[in-house]
Amino acid sequence: MAFEGLSDRLQSAMGTVSGKGKITEADLKQMMREVRLALLEADVNFKVVKKFVKTVNERALGANVLESLSPAQQVVKIVNEELTELMGGEQAPFNFSPKPPTVVMMVGLQGAGKTTTAGKLAKFMHKNEHKRPLLIAADVYRPAAIDQLQTLGEQLNYPVFSMGTDADPVEIARQGIERAKIDGRDLVIIDTAGRLHVDDQLMAELQNIKEVANPQEILLVVDSMTGQDAVNVAETFNERLDISGVVLTKLDGDTRGGAALSIRSVTGKPIKFTGQGEKLEDFEIFYPERMASRILGMGDIMTLIEKAQQDFDEEKAQEMADKIKANTFDFNDFLDQLDQVNKMGPLEDIIKMIPGLNKMAGLDQLKVDPKDTARMKAIVLSMTNEERENPEILSQQRRKRIAKGSARPLAEVNRLIKQFNESKKMMNQLSNGNMRGLENMMGA
């Protein structure tokens, strides 16, 4: 999990003051020493760390925080605000061209995730902004790069403009944009070549593409796992190309956080998006405030709500609510629910986003075995439709047959049916406004 070490260490640093009614200057100093070490260990640029510690100190001492009624809370608030500021403060908007098409250049070193991110961005813009993307394959040095983009295009059903490996990348970009205009495509994403290291020739080529493409966005894709290297790369690309923003990939890995926390401060350019996995939907807008809260273990309720809204099928949810009200919720609905929950992703990731819950007794250690839901599903799928609709007919004999059919022990089948009946009862009580149901649920 990304930022785990940093997150733990920062929270333990905060722990040295939180809970104290009074904080002395020595307490603050001790805390800030630990914050400094935590950041350095996370591979945050040392100049950035120095400035950060200085600012937090000045604010804490300057505002008479130590004399305030809740000094610990105030200090944590300052750290949170300064972390947010470090990552750019406000979320940086994406620049659309007033006159279509909007042109985006993806740049970065080889392996950073450029091509994948081109596909992710296209999908994201289609889904959220109703854009009609065209992808341009301008990496002529690696034939596999063109194939990769073409495969992505097919998968997403977007056209890919390519002129093979013999054409000049600048010409490919120019003709690709023309094609987009003719075909009424309003978003053009140019996948450019990468190298293993920053090199002069490549930079010159990218500058030439920039000149003819006149892009609204030059997004530098950097691999967050490479820490300080990512920051150095960003500095060079920015000097040569004056990039408009950064996409930080592989935040799903165990990156220490250095790149995320230093890039903005060092280059002055905002992180606009993050990649959180290999799949095309593992892509999010970067919100500095939410990231700071997540790092400090304060949860990220906004992302959670958006995730729920995105993944849940509203019609299905309403249907479910009606069924609960009418007390006709059956095993078929139960199956639907399992699928809905599975769509939201691993439960342990969701728990991390809930403020307070993530550090509750052992919950942060919680690992939910996806096999559990698969087993439940197997049991329900072994029921006949009649049984699913009328669970009360599930006699012992039928249960034995289901156990055999799903290859699960009879006890497990019994347990699932019992749980189903209990939750059905509780849902019914709740939907009828019976508060006792709620009290029962809370174990009162």
Nearest CB to ligand GDP, comparing residues 25 and 254: 254
Closest contact distance (angstroms) between CB of 247 and ligand GDP is 9
166, exposed or middle or buried, with CB in 10 Å at 0-12, 13-18, 19+?
A: exposed
What are the beta bridge partners of residue 188?
A: 103, 134
Closest contact distance (angstroms) between CB of 198 and ligand GDP is 14
Closest contact distance (angstroms) between CB of 110 and ligand GDP is 4
Nearest CB to ligand GDP, comparing residues 32 and 118: 118
Closest contact distance (angstroms) between CB of 423 and ligand GDP is 36
> Measured between alpha carbons, how far is 42 from 47 in angstroms, rounded to an integer?
14
Is 193 marked as a binding-site residue? yes
Closest contact distance (angstroms) between CB of 338 and ligand GDP is 26
Nearest CB to ligand GDP, comparing residues 11 and 115: 115
* Spatial contact of 177 and 169, defined as CB atoms under 8 Å apart: no
Is 252 marked as a binding-site residue? yes
Find, among 370, 374, 358, the residue nearest to 416 by Cα.
374
Closest contact distance (angstroms) between CB of 234 and ligand GDP is 14
Is 210 marked as a binding-site residue? no
Reading the block at residue 272, the tokens are: 């606009």
Nearest CB to ligand GDP, comparing residues 277 and 405: 277
Reading the block at residue 297, the tokens are: 């273990």
Residues in Cβ contact with 196 at an 8 Å cutoff, skipping those fewer than 6 apart: 109, 110, 111
Is 333 marked as a binding-site residue? no
Nearest CB to ligand GDP, comparing residues 109 and 383: 109
DSSP track, 348-365: HHHHHTSTTGGGSTTGGG
Nearest CB to ligand GDP, comparing residues 38 and 138: 138
Nearest CB to ligand GDP, comparing residues 16 and 249: 249
Nearest CB to ligand GDP, comparing residues 74 and 276: 276
Closest contact distance (angstroms) between CB of 152 and ligand GDP is 9
Find, among 258, 297, 309, the residue nearest to 11 by Cα.
297
**Which residue stretches of 368-409 are H helix?**
370-381, 385-389, 396-406
> Measured between alpha carbons, how far is 219 from 383 in angstroms, rounded to an integer?
52
Nearest CB to ligand GDP, comparing residues 253 and 356: 253
Residue type, position 346, single letter = P
* Residue nearest ligand GDP, CB atom distance: 275
Residues in Cβ contact with 292 at an 8 Å cutoff, skipping those fewer than 6 apart: 80, 81, 83, 84, 87
**Which residue stretches of 104-257 are H helix?**
114-129, 143-156, 169-183, 200-213, 228-241
Is 227 marked as a binding-site residue? no
Is 236 marked as a binding-site residue? no
60, exposed or middle or buried, with CB in 10 Å at 0-12, 13-18, 19+?
A: buried
Nearest CB to ligand GDP, comparing residues 13 and 222: 222
Closest contact distance (angstroms) between CB of 58 and ligand GDP is 36
What does residue 199 show for φ and ψ, rounded to 5 degrees?
-140, 150
Residue whose tokens read 């049991």? 379
Is 151 marked as a binding-site residue? no
Closest contact distance (angstroms) between CB of 45 and ligand GDP is 22
> Measured between alpha carbons, how far is 245 from 223 in angstroms, rounded to an integer?
14
**Binding-site ranges for ligand GDP (CB under 6 A):** 108, 110-116, 194, 221, 249-250, 252-253, 275-278, 282
Q: Is the alpha carbon torsion for 316, 317, 320, 325 positive or negative?
A: negative
Is 303 marked as a binding-site residue? no
Reading the block at residue 306, the tokens are: 């958006």
Maximum Cα interatomic distance, the chain, rounded to a whole number of Å: 76
Is 166 marked as a binding-site residue? no
Is 102 marked as a binding-site residue? no
> Measured between alpha carbons, how far is 233 from 240 in angstroms, rounded to an integer?
11
Is 179 marked as a binding-site residue? no
Closest contact distance (angstroms) between CB of 109 and ligand GDP is 7
Is 361 marked as a binding-site residue? no
Measured between its terminal Cα atoms, the distance across the chain in Å is 36
Is 112 marked as a binding-site residue? yes
- Residue ranges for the binding site for GTP? 108-115, 191-195, 249-252
- Residue ranges for the binding site? 108-115, 191-195, 249-252
